[in-house]
Amino acid sequence: MSSPLLSQMPINTRIEQHRVSTARHITTTHKDERADPQDISLLVIHNISLPPNQFGNNYIDDFFEGKLAADAHPYFNEIHRMRVSAHCVIKRDGEIVQFVPFNQRAWHAGLSSFQGRSKCNDYAIGIELEGADHIPYTDIQYKVLTQLTNAIMQAYPKITLGRIVGHNDIAPGRKTDPGHVFDWPRLRQSLTPVKSL
């Protein structure tokens, strides 16, 4: 059979008005304004799965929207009141869900610091991969993350290759995501750096 797989078809991911053209969009109140909307200069990669290590449901969407059902799983009772979010989630099947436009501040990094500057949420974009530290990510997640990161670097040129980090890098000792299975060389080698003019 020669019918093309969805994952092999060209996808033109663009950012328009701080929104990803190929994403499903959900609104959340878990966000606020950036002090300086021009100050977008760091990309933070995370992982999340709800319940932990389980994939393929809509609990992450519910969590970032603030409507996670406390009684749906014992773990949810601990976390359902947390007010957190990310700009985008990349699901196991490559779907992008966007919760917060990039010019606004999502609440993903928490207590954090990069190169001596704290409060990374102020100036960072946060992308969550549906995943867990010890479970390999899917090929389509790497492919979509590459496309999305390239589009982000185009739209926000202060985000250079050296300013793409893991949550563990900006909150060492407190956070471990995206985990030891995340293949940083694979991501870095697949990216297309923006040529400086």
Contacts for 64 with CB less than 8 Å, ≥ 6 apart: 26, 28, 30, 84, 85, 86, 89, 99
Cβ–Cβ < 8 Å for 170, 109: yes
Q: How far is the CB of 17 from Zn ion (least distance, A)?
A: 26
In terms of CB distance, is 130 or 177 closer to Zn ion?
A: 177
Residue of 78, 95, 128, 130 with catalytic role: 128
Q: How far is the CB of 19 from Zn ion (least distance, A)?
A: 22
CA distances from 152 to 16, 65, 70, 169, 172 (A): 11, 23, 34, 20, 25
Determine the Cα–Cα distance for residues 100 and 35; give it in Å rounded to an integer: 15
In terms of CB distance, is 176 or 194 closer to Zn ion?
A: 176
* Contacts to Zn ion by CB under 5 A: 46, 167, 177
Q: For the chain, how far is it from start to end, CA to CA, in angstroms? A: 45
Q: How far is the CB of 59 from Zn ion (least distance, A)?
A: 16
Nearest CA to 150 among 36, 21, 33?
21
Determine the Cα–Cα distance for residues 133 and 150; give it in Å rounded to an integer: 24
Cβ–Cβ < 8 Å for 130, 61: no
For the question of residue 130 being annotated catalytic, the response is no
Active-site annotation, residues: 128
